[in-house]
Structure 1
């Protein structure tokens, strides 16, 4: 066993113990509006104060959640990431406990589905306020539903339980009927049923989920819609290979993990559909990504033009993306840096963000632990493939 494998397994085992002890429940950077204190204040329904309160709590280097009475909860997206990670572990280590754990988490997700829309939808376990929209707790959206759908497909791939495939089909029904928007010869997917925003990675994530589902069902409609969604993503690519977060003027930034989502989606789409017509665009995007977002020592930049904050979510998606593209050495450097600087050896969890002068050491279950758990299992799986 190599030193990297040993270190990876040690951290993974300790992280697994931590998330089990917490019952997969925790805080989230965006859970401010779950505060029982905020919700008795007279301005709790004011969109401006909701947004400011949420952002201040997210950026605060100290954990004020116990004082604001924000309780630890399970997050459907986080649970989906954990489930996919446990199915990875079962495939690697062949231990029944991981298979059972993944199945138990999928059962929880099944119970948390929203059925008051077309098909099945899932949302975050907190209300969220953006500049222009407010969504109540568990209001279904395209991103969470796509990740949950992918976790059921991972379960189906591992167990061949047809129930999981049927639930994934219901997730696709939600995406096709509630958030799909036709855009000339392409389509895009809005973030949620009540808006028409064009966030590029949302369309990428939905499209690759539909392509993955098509891989198992051979449904021609899924192939067609997924292909048109990817066409939209390609159409929005900048000349240098990058993507802005969205198409609105206030969304014109370029960051690490949303770029990674686009890259992974394009690569996996081509594999599921057997369509390699955009190799040039994919190569240009990957070259931009690796040249822009990584430091020599393994640090991962958050934005294209700014190093800080170094964010664990960006680190996790970078590890997954690099390993899927076969860039194992760079992925190892990122992982080693993360374990050295973002892993709490005593408390057995990953920190949230490292800023120039301080580190936010709060444990966020979805944002930090779930993403790193998935990243570690994906990287371990890819390392095993490389070693034969």
Structure 2
């Protein structure tokens, strides 16, 4: 696995970790009606042919992949990759969002989904959280005060300005800062952030927040143990399920209840039963797939593979993680050019080299190596 990470990092470091992303269609130089952009963005994402040169889309910086690479390299070998780590830390600090005074991060390129559009300067809760996870890892290694300042600043953003809903028993955070958007894994990741924050600044208030978040996650769990993506989109997919499980695992390092333990165990059992065929992770849950074209187009995506490896490594199921990793290298890794593919279905495999997917698999290999 050393050679795989070495090749990925070497290939990308010469380009300052720039690359293409499945969601970068909005950066196209072609003038199109705004109502078509999200639809064409989806087609561009699932196409096995890379049309970006014709569309005028060039390699761009990628905030999320930079955060993934930073976390991966800090875990894997912080001494060997010290130059790359310093570069990624500086980039993430210098290229912060300007939407809030407090530290946050967003997309470094124009992007469009059916749900919303975003781009440079705007804050993404999810990208900010992945950046925080990387900063916690880097701070643990270095004690860099700039990292700690960013972590504290982001916590102030969550506490004072981000839209959230709290009562005596539950707490959940909106996906968007000023608009109600109930996406379950977003709140779970905030819980993971608070669990990591607790290790630096332990307090009863943080414990109470974590208990309320766990109570919320129990309240929105399906009877079979799964979680939908959101209130509006009840389908269940592989990698978002892992985000839930991984976040609960971290919260349980600080606090847990009988109900939250049962929640985790039932969710893990359902995940293993309904999100795999042998060593191959399935992109969608066998019983809760979307009733549209997406369930026909993607059988297995690299994020499903990477996050399954991360989860099973963390919870001590190393043999299962190793089986999935070996399957991924055999089926998704281009040994000639040194990168991982995007996804496959029954008809074709998308072999486009996306920078963020290399970050995901680098993090998966790092977590596997750490726990093995």
Fold conserved (TM > 0.5)? yes
Report whether the alignment pairs 1:266 with 2:248.
yes
Output the CA distance in 2 between the equivalents of 1:173 and 1:221: 14
Aligned to 2:289: none
Output the CA distance in 1 between the equivalents of 2:158 and 2:56: 34
Query: Secondary structure of the residue that 2:103 maps to in structure 1?
Result: coil
Aligned to 1:81: 68
Aligned to 1:3: none
Q: CA deviation at 1:178?
A: 3.4
Report whether the alignment pairs 1:320 with 2:310.
yes
Output the CA distance in 2 between the equivalents of 1:116 and 1:240: 40
Output the CA distance in 2 between the equivalents of 1:136 and 1:81: 19
Output the CA distance in 2 between the equivalents of 1:31 and 1:261: 23
Q: CA deviation at 1:380?
A: 0.5
Per-residue CA shift, 1:37-82, capped at 9, x if unaligned?
Answer: 2xx34x2xx2x21211211111111000111011111211111111
Unaligned runs of 5+ in 2: 287-294
* Partner residue of 1:97 out of 76, 80, 90: 80
Counterparts of 1:235-274 in structure 2 under 5 Å?
235-248=219-232, 251-271=233-253, 273-274=254-255
Output the CA distance in 1 between the equivalents of 2:255 and 2:339: 39
Output the CA distance in 2 between the equivalents of 1:116 and 1:11: 37
Counterparts of 1:52-63 in structure 2 under 5 Å?
52-63=39-50
Q: CA deviation at 1:163?
A: 2.3
With over 3 angstroms needed to count, the CA separation of the structure-2 counterparts of 1:215 and 1:338, relative to structure 1, is same
Counterparts of 1:354-369 in structure 2 under 5 Å?
354-366=344-356, 368-369=357-358
Output the CA distance in 1 between the equivalents of 2:171 and 2:163: 7
TM-score by length of 1: 0.88
Asked whether the equivalents of residues 72 and 362 of structure 2 are also in contact (C-alpha less than 8 Å), the reply is: yes
Output the CA distance in 2 between the equivalents of 1:70 and 1:222: 44
Asked whether the equivalents of residues 99 and 122 of structure 2 are also in contact (C-alpha less than 8 Å), the reply is: no
Runs (4 or more) in structure 1 with deviation over 4 Å come to none
Aligned to 1:350: 340
Aligned to 1:17: 10
Report whether the alignment pairs 1:288 with 2:278.
no
Aligned to 2:129: 146
Query: Secondary structure of the residue that 1:304 maps to in structure 2?
Result: coil
Aligned to 1:337: 327
Q: CA deviation at 1:187?
A: 1.8
* Partner residue of 1:123 out of 67, 88, 106: 106
Asked whether the equivalents of residues 50 and 129 of structure 1 are also in contact (C-alpha less than 8 Å), the reply is: yes
Output the CA distance in 2 between the equivalents of 1:323 and 1:159: 24
Output the CA distance in 2 between the equivalents of 1:64 and 1:179: 38
Aligned to 2:162: 179
Report whether the alignment pairs 1:301 with 2:285.
no
Aligned to 1:29: 22
Asked whether the equivalents of residues 300 and 314 of structure 1 are also in contact (C-alpha less than 8 Å), the reply is: yes
Query: Secondary structure of the residue that 1:182 maps to in structure 2?
Result: strand
Instruction: State the aligned residue count.
Output: 361
Q: CA RMSD in A?
A: 1.8
Q: CA deviation at 1:220?
A: 4.2
Aligned to 2:362: 373
With over 3 angstroms needed to count, the CA separation of the structure-2 counterparts of 1:62 and 1:372, relative to structure 1, is same
Per-residue CA shift, 1:222-276, capped at 9, x if unaligned?
Answer: 433333223212211111110000012xx010100000000000001111x2435
Asked whether the equivalents of residues 118 and 178 of structure 1 are also in contact (C-alpha less than 8 Å), the reply is: no
Q: CA deviation at 1:137?
A: 3.3
Asked whether the equivalents of residues 128 and 137 of structure 1 are also in contact (C-alpha less than 8 Å), the reply is: no
* Partner residue of 1:158 out of 141, 144, 168: 141
With over 3 angstroms needed to count, the CA separation of the structure-2 counterparts of 1:274 and 1:187, relative to structure 1, is closer
Output the CA distance in 2 between the equivalents of 1:139 and 1:343: 34
Query: Secondary structure of the residue that 1:253 maps to in structure 2?
Result: coil
